[in-house]
Structure 1
Amino acid sequence: MATRSLFHGLRCRLTNGVFESNFIRNAEASLFSKSYSADTAIGSSFVEESFDSVEKDDLRSRIFRLRLPKRSATTVLEKWAGEGNQISVTELRYISRELKRTRRYKHALEIIEWMVHHEESKISDADYASRIDLISKVFGIDAAERYFEGLHLASKTTETYTSLLHAYAGSKQTERAEALFKRIIETDSLTFGAITYNEMMTLYMSVGQVEKVPEVIEVLKRKKVSPDIFTYNLWLSSCAATFNIDELRKILEEMRRDASSYEGWARYIDLTSIYINSSRLSSAESSSPVEAEKSISQREWVTYDFLLILHTGLGNKDMIDQIWKSLRNTNQKLSSRSYICVLSSYLMLGHLREAGDVIDQWKESKTTEFDASACSRILNAFRDVGLEEKANDFQLLLVQKKCSLENEVS
């Protein structure tokens, strides 16, 4: 369960904040029930922060000086406006996003609510979507659901539907998510993109129902929705987690033919091929008695590996660092596949120092024996996909680390 929680937390980082940047269409506002205003989350008495005259005195600074959730961002906004200052919707959206990024959800929700009550004509679908997400975090899923159902029909848009689905997925409310997803795919008046389908697949991966991911893919294709790299990653992860290697290779071929592919996709495809070939990920492994006993753990590790592969394709070195650090901090034994995956990821992005650190960590590990033959397979796999220069860099690195590959490299 610990590893599933880690996976879900890491997955959530991929999707948090998407609504603010992608959804811009304006829609009719619906007044939010007073009983669910953000001010009632803590209580009715609020104390405004005192402001040091020597500190920067703008709206954002005043709000961010509200350290405690019980203090009211609404009070700050009213005081700022009462002093004759202008408040733009653009500024409020920026402040709310920053508050959300730092997990100050109650204050972020107060900002959105102030916008709804004072700038109703300028509220976008993204604002409603953000409000649903924040309500779920401050008051819970039931409150978010009631708010969504209370919206006018014009405000029940692609963005708000997806935001509620995101909230269900984040709290692993599978039955509710499936019911909402059924409504979504039966809605002919709205067009949903890959992100909506990704939410359902992320949910199924996080609760261990990987066998349902292909069902979502079938619906996506039937609806003629173009998959993105996140879609493919989830699909590939589900196949790898069930050791369906033949299907995995078919998906890679489909990615190669996809007209929307770009450099990051090519890097992703190459690294996935390297991982499959060098980690000995094969259907045969899952049939042995020993592997059967470890199947749940191994499936989870494979899923983490594909999360690393995804961020390598996206060029997100910082996320690779964070995921690898999180995996190393778990109490569970790291698999050789995970070392192979992160090592290949750093090599693919040209970070040789970090790749060297992984080799050192692997050699020093007390639970996972360093495997020189695996390094040989990585070398061969890089060469198989035509990345000769990176293979040579890796070979030099192995020499520097005194890793003997005699009789290993084919």
Structure 2
Amino acid sequence: MKLSLYALRNQNPIHFHRTIINRFYGTTSTTKQHKFQKRDWVFARIAPLGSPDLSMVPVLDQWVKEGKQVAETELKWIIKRLNSYKRYKHALEVSHWMTDRRYFPLQPADVATRVNLMYKVKGLEEAEKYFNNISQILRRPEVYTALLNCYTNEKSVEKAEAMMQQLRDMGFAKGALCYNYMMNLYYKTGTWEKMDDLMNEMEQKGINCDEFTLTIRLTAYAAAGDSEGMDKIVAMMESDKHLILHSDTYSIVAEFYLKVGQVEKALELLSKLDSMILTREKSYRAFNSLLKLYAEAGKKEEVHRVWDLYKQKMRILNKGYISVMSSLTKFGDTEGVEKIFEEWESEALSYDFRVPDVLIRSYCRNGLLGKAKALMDKGMSKGGIPWVTTWCHLANGYIHEDLVPEAVEALKKAISICPPNYKPSKETLVTCVEYLEKHGNVDNAEDFVRSLETEHIFSPVFRDKLLRFIKEEKLQT
């Protein structure tokens, strides 16, 4: 059985190709108190100003005007911190201020950071212009590698391959990082055979594969439906004493085995993941993955066991409650979901509507529309803001109760807050359009469909089918 690359990318909860490289090479925030993170330091003024429309320059200038000091190491820490928060524009402003206003000299690592920030804020062309104006003395391996990273993120295969060859020619391709960027590129573009060529080259040069190298290849094998290749990579990882495996590895493989129906092999890997969180990796992501995967394996008792362990070992956040509730919905256990929801309410955490959203979905799927509406009203009375999915769940619930006018209104509310490329149920969409057409509101139906197109809710092909349905009173499928 084969799995498509599209399906893997969209169903894998780890969102591998966007997150795993940052895990090993990116800037991540930490829960520990940093020596620069203190109330009387300029970061306390910068941190709350999250809007990209705001500039950090006046804040920094005012700090200096007040006669307060700001050290080079502190500014570099701020840049790293803002980058980890994805406040790229602000990080770039601080980087420029550091050199333009404080005259701190740039080091190659600073230049590499700025290349990446230029790309994220202004695009590839501006990043290339900046790179081309860098003095030769600052063009160290990390700077070339930063531009390579830009090319791979842009999926510019020709430019990335040319830069990789330049790194080889200059003798800069000595570590795993540049190879991993290329591995990530070939994964995203589906040219998996080139990944093996890179791994062979690394072996010939004596460059050790790190966890990213092997995990990205593992993911490509999963996308290709190659279980033998996956087993080979897992064996390589487990036999390498210098490699510290993370939960992602076992999660990726276990999810693959579940998708192809090899439940026993998946359970073996989940057992290893289970042991891992008991001994060394007590992470939220590992617990959430275990809950999800045990549910997909049909092991309800294991879901409850992991949840009890989760509560013993960690402080449960909203995401944890969402994970266990979503897992229990796979068993149709609405009563169990209600009990977890009551636990969440008793903790008085921030009112994240994604939590009641899970229970509302369960209610709507099980014909409990009254409970769904009551919970929606309760959440809104507490200041919660329904998600687009919440309105879609209600629309589906109304459809199943033959309350089509109410479904149309719920779907309109969903559309008004819908993010690009979100896909509501086609059944719900068709029923709503049919209702509008049958009640003589052809113009309203056409406007409704065009609003769906404007919000990128479905493809032009499906749009044309709906419009044809309106005009011909028959949906062609």
TM-score normalised per structure 2: 0.51
User: Distance in 2 between the 1:100 and 1:206 partners?
Assistant: 23
- Per the alignment, residue 396 of structure 1 pairs with none
Which of 274, 296, 318 is the equivalent residue of 1:339?
Answer: 296
What is the deviation of 1:135?
A: 0.5
Which of 284, 287, 292 is the equivalent residue of 1:318?
Answer: 284
- Per the alignment, residue 332 of structure 2 pairs with 364
Q: Which letter maps to 1:211?
A: E
Which of 6, 13, 17 is the equivalent residue of 1:11?
Answer: 17
Change beyond 3 A, Cα 1:351–1:129: farther
Deviations 1:135-188 (A, max 9, x none): 111110111122122222332223222222222222322222222222222321
- Secondary structure of the 1:364 match is coil
* Cα pair 1:19 1:129 within 8 Å, conserved: no
Aligned residues: 296
- Per the alignment, residue 232 of structure 2 pairs with 250
User: Distance in 2 between the 1:245 and 1:205 partners?
Assistant: 17
Q: Which letter maps to 1:363?
A: F
Which of 178, 182, 202 is the equivalent residue of 1:196?
Answer: 178
2:206 pairs with 1:224: yes
Deviations 1:228-280 (A, max 9, x none): 11111111222232233333333333334424134x36x77777776677665
Deviations 1:93-147 (A, max 9, x none): 2222222233222111011112233565553332212111111111101111221
Question: Please, what is the CA RMSD of the aligned residues?
Answer: 4.4
- Secondary structure of the 1:167 match is helix
Which of 111, 114, 121 is the equivalent residue of 1:131?
Answer: 114
User: Distance in 2 between the 1:185 and 1:252 partners?
Assistant: 29
Change beyond 3 A, Cα 1:119–1:259: farther
* Cα pair 1:205 1:238 within 8 Å, conserved: yes
Change beyond 3 A, Cα 1:68–1:358: closer
User: Distance in 1 between the 2:17 and 2:299 partners?
Assistant: 17
* Cα pair 2:152 2:185 within 8 Å, conserved: yes
Deviations 1:17-46 (A, max 9, x none): 866769xxxxxxxxxxxxxxxxxxxxxxxx
Change beyond 3 A, Cα 1:3–1:150: farther
User: Distance in 2 between the 1:166 and 1:221 partners?
Assistant: 22
What is the deviation of 1:66?
A: 3.6
2:194 pairs with 1:212: yes
What is the deviation of 1:324?
A: 9.3
User: Distance in 1 between the 2:287 and 2:142 partners?
Assistant: 31
Q: Which letter maps to 1:235?
A: R
What is the deviation of 1:215?
A: 2.0
Q: Which letter maps to 1:82?
A: K
Which of 42, 46, 63 is the equivalent residue of 1:80?
Answer: 63
- Secondary structure of the 1:363 match is coil
Change beyond 3 A, Cα 1:156–1:126: same
User: Distance in 1 between the 2:75 and 2:56 partners?
Assistant: 11
User: Distance in 2 between the 1:341 and 1:197 partners?
Assistant: 39
Change beyond 3 A, Cα 1:228–1:18: closer
How do 1:245-284 residues align onto structure 2 when only pairs under 5 Å count? 245-262=227-244, 264=245, 280=260
Which of 90, 105, 115 is the equivalent residue of 2:88?
Answer: 105
Gaps (5+ residues) in structure 2? 1-5, 29-38, 312-319, 334-477
Which of 76, 83, 107 is the equivalent residue of 1:93?
Answer: 76
* Cα pair 2:222 2:230 within 8 Å, conserved: yes
* Cα pair 2:119 2:126 within 8 Å, conserved: yes
- Secondary structure of the 2:212 match is helix
User: Distance in 1 between the 2:72 and 2:299 partners?
Assistant: 42
* Cα pair 2:119 2:150 within 8 Å, conserved: yes
Change beyond 3 A, Cα 1:319–1:222: same
Change beyond 3 A, Cα 1:237–1:174: same
- Secondary structure of the 2:330 match is helix
User: Distance in 1 between the 2:225 and 2:303 partners?
Assistant: 21
- Per the alignment, residue 39 of structure 1 pairs with none
Deviations 1:271-317 (A, max 9, x none): 777667766579xxxxxxxxxxxxxxxxxxx9xx99xx8xx799373
Change beyond 3 A, Cα 1:256–1:62: closer
User: Distance in 2 between the 1:133 and 1:356 partners?
Assistant: 37
Change beyond 3 A, Cα 1:278–1:14: closer
User: Distance in 2 between the 1:107 and 1:123 partners?
Assistant: 18
User: Distance in 1 between the 2:157 and 2:303 partners?
Assistant: 33
Deviations 1:32-86 (A, max 9, x none): xxxxxxxxxxxxxxxxxxxxxxxx6641122234444343222222222232211
Gaps (5+ residues) in structure 1? 23-55, 283-301, 329-335, 366-410
Q: Which letter maps to 2:143?
A: T
